Amino acid sequence: MTHTCFIIPPHIHRAIVQNGTKEQQDNAHLALEISAQLRGLRIAHALYDLVPEQETAVAMTENRSAYDCKHLTWLPGLRVRKEGQGPSRDVAINQAYDGAGSTWQLYQSIFQRNSVDNKGMKLVSSVHYARRYNNAFWNGSQMVYGDGDGQIFKPFTGVVDVIGHELTHGVTQYTANLDYQDQSGALNESVSDCFGSMVKQFALNQTVDQADWLIGAGLFTSKIHGVALRSMKAPGTAYDDPLIGKDPQPDHMSKYVNTQDDNGGVHINSGIPNRAFYLTALALGGHSWERAGKLWYHALTEGARSSTNFVEFAQLTIQAASSPEETHAVTDAWKTVGVLP
């Protein structure tokens, strides 16, 4: 089953509904309503096989298109830029186009993957979705970006790891297809954070000790007390603000959050495997995609299944290790976050 996966979790929007101004509350209600509508559409797709067909190209080459929704909610909108065309006058169009390219480049050059489906799937991006829409999402076939409200969030196309995160939901969809619920759902979110961070580090050519290990840095406006949506290095420390609340992510299994909200806390408990990836990458050094990233990619594409939980995924990453150093690094990381005894 495909899942519509959003970068901003519902607990942030609900905090804004509770604490924000009338305008901020209206924008948060809009985001929550769109989420509910798209979840209903996802169920219809699953029941009636209504997932839109995608153009494919067998050749290992980028195939991107960027569309303008004109602040409506119809998809994909009007096409503004396609593969090979020069930059548009629209900054958001160019950011979405370039971010899709950065993601494609990481997967192609490091993991020899031909787009998200490994068959050359066209990377479709739609920008200017709705008005003051505070979210971005992968809907099972394309990327969609809001402009933000300018008070809490800036435009969502401006943060390349958000783009890499959401497109990686597509990769997961075409590989392990991790159920979007409880631990498998938290792994689904974590995998997107891991590869979204790698996309940013790859684009900037950063080593593991140069990277900030933040997801969504630069997305908040200066009015919000927070550095990012999530911290892979220190889950639970990304933000603490009267309007949006405090980052609820745990960094250890002893703090695992049991909740019915957000499909069992998929955006919250993802902090645990996120930290395991960070610790593995830090122990192995160099660039995150060279060793740690390959262990995670192998686990996702060669062993994980829809119901895989934290312990099972940890074991898959250990099995993927090709040297005693890698085995020790990844085992120690999962032990440090309490997934393995």
Annotated catalytic sites, by residue? Answer: 166, 267
Q: Sign of dihedral through CA atoms 104, 106, 109, 115?
A: negative
- 172 neighbors 207 (Cβ within 8 angstroms): no
What residues does 79 pair with on adjacent strands? 67
Q: Residue 45's closest CA among 80, 1, 84?
A: 1
CA distance 163 to 143: 8
123-127 and 78-82 strand pairing: unpaired
* Strand-pair category, 64-68 with 136-138: unpaired
Q: 198: exposed, middle or buried (C-beta count within 10 Å: 0-12, 13-18, 19+)? A: buried
